[in-house]
């Protein structure tokens, strides 16, 4: 188990080192996410008043779309010199490589959400500080479920020519339950009278999805990548 | 960690991609100290065979035994004994040569990865450029770093896909000398190449592949290029 985390950490650290030098994925993902939120703000905010109950949906749409962009790019680096093969050849638990890539994705998406959440709060007058820990739990759990499936599919499609087209087609139908739970849970916190109980329910459901998706991804990563 | 194996046994190995057969019933054995050349035209199945031997690809049929162990049973311990240089070199262009070697050394669990990486760069003649990004290297320099990456963990089985690509005459000669050193150490080397003149005299045996099949030809004594021509043309 110690070796599993060591390898996962090596992969995360390498990805962070590369990203810190290029800022390629962070900048494009962040720019895209901000653009999505701003476009919605122009359409849905009139005279300083947003349409009711849209903030949660916009937050998750921006997260999902920008996350998809990041997922496609994060494995592009492994494709360029076929380094994914070198990683698979290393005498490490192959699922640890997946875990490392997933952790890197979560850090990246977390960084984007740190900017997105205040922006959505500001533009759509969402009460983001009413239940900050519940909101954080929803975002962490929802992002984990989304990225768990996305990282697996991105790895599977790394050598496919139409990776950028195929990734959302495969990813969105499977992550729809995660998106619904994330939107409903966040909406429960953002509504006029926040419903803490309902938010807790959606958090629990998201955690269930996380366990299922992460377990399945860890289990299938090696056979899928060597077939 | 599995014990070092002395023999590689490939039995009736096939790999299909849908209806297309990339490899068809390939069988051979080779022993420690052998340098086996996989020779054949493009699309003959050389890279597919190397990928299966490197445990990166599962065969559709047939088995590969590394000593007494198969890829499924050997797992990570077996992969620790395999080094592979792919056609795409397996290096991160955004990292320096030293960072690449240290990263992969650590992935192989080497506790002295930085020291080994520094030594490997000296051996490749790139000691002074170890802190340069790989993206700034010429193809030949990247090829030398990639070879050191494949050898960093001192593998028992070394798989090389077009190792002479981009190397000038002196570098190619240095690579041949390096392979002879590894051969003397008991490393089992399998290389796919089109550089017949360079490897003539280096190989201890050749496998001529065409359309995924091993051509059944007598070894003969003539120059490798003549034997290659007769093997591939005769089929």
Task: Evaluate if residue A16 carries a pLDDT over 60.
Answer: yes
Q: Which domain holds residue A66?
A: 2-226
In degrees, to the nearest 5, what angle opens at C-alpha A14 toward C-alphas B86 and B138? 45
> Does B198 reach chain A within 8 Å, measured CB to CB?
no
Joined together, the tokens standing for residue A201 give 């329910």
Flag if A81 and B76 touch (Cβ within 8 Å): no
What's the whole-model pTM score?
A: 0.88
Predicted pLDDT of residue B3: 62
> Does B220 reach chain A within 8 Å, measured CB to CB?
no
Flag if A83 and B149 touch (Cβ within 8 Å): no
Predicted confidence (pLDDT) per residue in B135-193, tens digit: 999 888 899 999 999 999 999 999 999 999 878 888 888 899 999 999 999 999 999 99
Distance from CA of B177 to the nearest CA of A (A): 25
pLDDT band at A29 (very low <50, low <70, confident <90, very high): very high
Task: Evaluate if residue B48 carries a pLDDT over 90.
Answer: yes
Residues contacting residue A210 through CB under 8 Å, at least 6 positions apart: A141, A144, A145, A148
Predicted confidence (pLDDT) per residue in B119-142, tens digit: 999 998 888 898 999 999 988 889
Predicted confidence (pLDDT) per residue in A62-87, tens digit: 999 999 999 988 888 888 778 988 99
Predicted pLDDT of residue A116: 95
Spatial CA neighbour of A85 closest among B134, B2, B87, B15: B87
CA B110/CA B103 separation, integer angstroms:
10
CA B158/CA B147 separation, integer angstroms:
10
What is the tally of structural domains in chain A? Answer: 1
The beta-carbon neighbor of A81 closest among B79, B93, B106 is B93
Task: Evaluate if residue B219 carries a pLDDT over 60.
Answer: no
In degrees, to the nearest 5, what angle opens at C-alpha A92 toward C-alphas A87 and A96? 80
> Does B213 reach chain A within 8 Å, measured CB to CB?
no
Domain boundaries, chain B: 1-81+155-235, 88-153
Task: Evaluate if residue B235 carries a pLDDT over 60.
Answer: no
Query: Based on the number of CB atoms within 10 Å of its own CB, is A208 exposed (0-12), middle (13-18) or buried (19 or more)?
Result: middle
Which residues of chain A lie closer than 8 angstroms to B76, CB-CB? 91-93
Average pLDDT over residues A100-128: 94
Flag if A90 and B104 touch (Cβ within 8 Å): yes
Q: Which residue, among A18, A78, A83, would best test binding to B if mutated, counting the most B CBs under 10 Å from its CB?
A: A83
Predicted pLDDT of residue B234: 67
Joined together, the tokens standing for residue A200 give 């807790």
ipTM: 0.86
- Side-chain-side CA neighbours of B29 within 13 Å: the count stands at 8
Flag if B107 and A87 touch (Cβ within 8 Å): yes
Flag if B107 and A226 touch (Cβ within 8 Å): no
With CA atoms as reference, the chain B residue closest to A95 would be: B76
Positive or negative: CA dihedral B229, B230, B232, B234: positive
Q: List all residues of chain B from 25 to 64 with a beta carbon under 8 Å from chain A.
A: 51, 54-58
Which residues of chain B lie closer than 8 angstroms to A3, CB-CB? 109
Predicted pLDDT of residue A75: 82
Angle between helices A94-123 and A2-22 (to 10 degrees): 50
Residues contacting residue B151 through CB under 8 Å, at least 6 positions apart: B83, B120, B158, B182
CA B63/CA A194 separation, integer angstroms:
62
How many CB contacts within 8 angstroms connect chain A with chain B?
72
Predicted pLDDT of residue B218: 58
Predicted confidence (pLDDT) per residue in A157-216, tens digit: 887 878 788 999 999 999 999 999 999 999 999 998 889 999 999 999 999 999 999 999
Average pLDDT over residues A52-64: 92
- Three-class SS of residue B108? coil
**What's the CATH superfamily of B1-81+155-235?**
P-loop containing nucleotide triphosphate hydrolases (3.40.50.300)
> Does B69 reach chain A within 8 Å, measured CB to CB?
no
If one compares A133 and B5, the residue with the highest pLDDT of the two is A133
> Does B96 reach chain A within 8 Å, measured CB to CB?
no
The beta-carbon neighbor of A92 closest among B56, B76, B88 is B76
Flag if B108 and A90 touch (Cβ within 8 Å): yes
CA A87/CA A82 separation, integer angstroms:
9
> Does B103 reach chain A within 8 Å, measured CB to CB?
yes
């Amino acid at each position: 188990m110690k070796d599993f985390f060591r390898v996962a950490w090596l992969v995360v650290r390498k990805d962070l080192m590369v990203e810190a030098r290029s800022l390629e994925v962070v900048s494009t993902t962040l720019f895209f996410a901000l653009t999505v939120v701003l476009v919605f703000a122009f359409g849905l905010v009139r005279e300083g008043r947003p349409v009711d109950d849209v903030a949660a949906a916009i937050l998750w749409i921006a997260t999902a779309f920008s996350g998809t962009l990041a997922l496609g790019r994060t494995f592009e680096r492994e494709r360029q010199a076929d380094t994914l093969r070198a990683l698979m050849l290393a005498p490490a638990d192959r699922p640890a490589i997946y875990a490392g890539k997933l952790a890197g994705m979560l850090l990246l998406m977390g960084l984007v959400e740190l900017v997105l959440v205040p922006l959505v709060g500001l533009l759509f007058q969402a009460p983001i500080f009413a239940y900050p820990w519940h909101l954080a739990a929803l975002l962490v759990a929802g992002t984990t479920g989304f990225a768990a499936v996305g990282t697996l599919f991105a790895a599977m499609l790394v050598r496919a020519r139409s990776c950028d087209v195929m990734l959302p087609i495969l990813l969105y139908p499977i992550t729809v339950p995660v998106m619904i739970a994330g939107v409903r849970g966040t909406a429960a916190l953002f509504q006029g009278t926040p419903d803490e109980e309902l938010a807790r329910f959606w958090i629990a459901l998201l955690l269930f999805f996380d366990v299922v998706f992460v377990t399945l991804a860890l289990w299938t990563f090696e056979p899928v990548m060597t077939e | 960690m599995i014990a070092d194996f002395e023999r590689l046994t490939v039995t009736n190995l096939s790999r299909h991609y849908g209806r297309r057969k990339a490899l068809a019933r390939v069988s051979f054995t080779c022993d420690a100290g052998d340098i086996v050349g996989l020779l054949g035209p493009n699309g003959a199945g050389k890279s597919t065979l190397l990928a299966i031997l490197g445990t990166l690809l599962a065969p559709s049929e047939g088995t590969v035994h590394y000593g007494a162990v198969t890829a499924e049973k050997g797992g990570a311990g077996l992969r620790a004994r395999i080094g592979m240089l792919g056609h795409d070199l397996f290096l991160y262009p955004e990292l320096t040569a030293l960072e690449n070697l240290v990263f992969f050394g650590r992935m192989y669990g080497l506790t002295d990865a930085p020291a080994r990486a520094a030594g490997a760069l000296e051996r490749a003649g790139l000691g002074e450029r170890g802190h340069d990004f790989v993206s700034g290297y010429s193809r030949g320099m990247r090829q030398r770093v990639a070879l050191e990456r494949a050898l960093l963990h001192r593998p028992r089985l070394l798989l090389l896909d077009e190792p002479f690509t981009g190397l000038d005459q002196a570098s190619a000669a240095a690579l041949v000398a390096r392979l002879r050193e590894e051969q003397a150490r008991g490393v089992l080397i399998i290389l796919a190449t089109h550089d017949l003149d360079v490897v003539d005299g280096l190989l201890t045996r050749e496998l001529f592949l065409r359309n995924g099949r091993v051509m059944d030809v007598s070894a003969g004594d003539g120059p490798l290029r003549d034997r290659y021509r007769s093997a591939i043309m005769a089929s």
